[in-house]
Amino acid sequence: MLKIFLPDQHVKSIFQITPEKLKEQGIKGIITDLDNTLVEWDRPNATPKLTEWFEMMRKEDIRITIVSNNNRERVQAFSDPLNIPFIFQARKPLVRAFHKAVQNMGLRKEETVVIGDQLLTDVLGGNRGGFHTILVVPVASTDGFWTKFNRMIERRILNWFRKKGMIVWEEKS
């Protein structure tokens, strides 16, 4: 039952994900969350390092779509300067936005990875949709109200996985 929350991979940062590693897995596209995955939830724009990461992916023909539960204003203000397609108010963990993103990129779900910082939205939605999922450590230690609630539940799930020997990484304290 809880295995639906188990990510396929875990990384400390989005920057550990490289085009070479993705291509080795047959990955041609990325569906990524925005807030606390790419930048802090209250940072309006991409950092220079993140902009370089996007450019590196683009040069290697890795397509990217941002899929966020946030509103149009937030997601568009972040995505437009980077010329990255996006889906806002995605209603994750529902899978509809993930499937729409794959269709828009012209890819199959087997060629696409879902990256995010939350088990209850990104990983659950990606797993339910049949995607390869990567959990990243949140870039900020603060969260909005609903995310704080989700994190309490996530800690319990992660502890259960740890006790069962299903995960080996350490949670950021």
For 104-146, the three-class secondary structure string (H helix, E strand, C coil) is HHCCCHHHEEEEECCHHHHHHHHHHCCCEEEEECCCCCCCCHH
The pLDDT of 158-173, averaged and rounded, is 73
State the pLDDT at residue 144: 64
State the pLDDT at residue 88: 98
- Looking at the domain covering 2-163, what would its CATH class be? alpha beta
Per-chain mean pLDDT for the chain: 92
pLDDT category of residue 173 using cuts at 50, 70 and 90: very low
Rg (CA), the chain: 15
Q: Count of alpha carbons within 13 Å of 128, Cβ hemisphere only?
A: 18
pLDDT in tens, 16-74: 999 999 999 999 999 999 999 999 988 989 999 999 999 999 999 999 999 999 999 99
Model confidence at 115: pLDDT above 70? yes
More confident residue, 141 or 157: 157
State the pLDDT at residue 47: 95
Amino acid code (one letter) for 150: N
In angstroms, rounded to a whole number, what is the distance separating the alpha carbons of residues 101 and 75?
14
User: What 3-state class would DSSP assign to 76?
Assistant: helix
Do the Cβ atoms of 66 and 166 come closer than 8 Å?
no
pLDDT in tens, 122-139: 999 999 999 999 999 988
User: What 3-state class would DSSP assign to 46?
Assistant: coil
**Residue with token string 């568009």:** 76
State the pLDDT at residue 172: 46
State the pLDDT at residue 143: 64
The pLDDT of 103-130, averaged and rounded, is 97
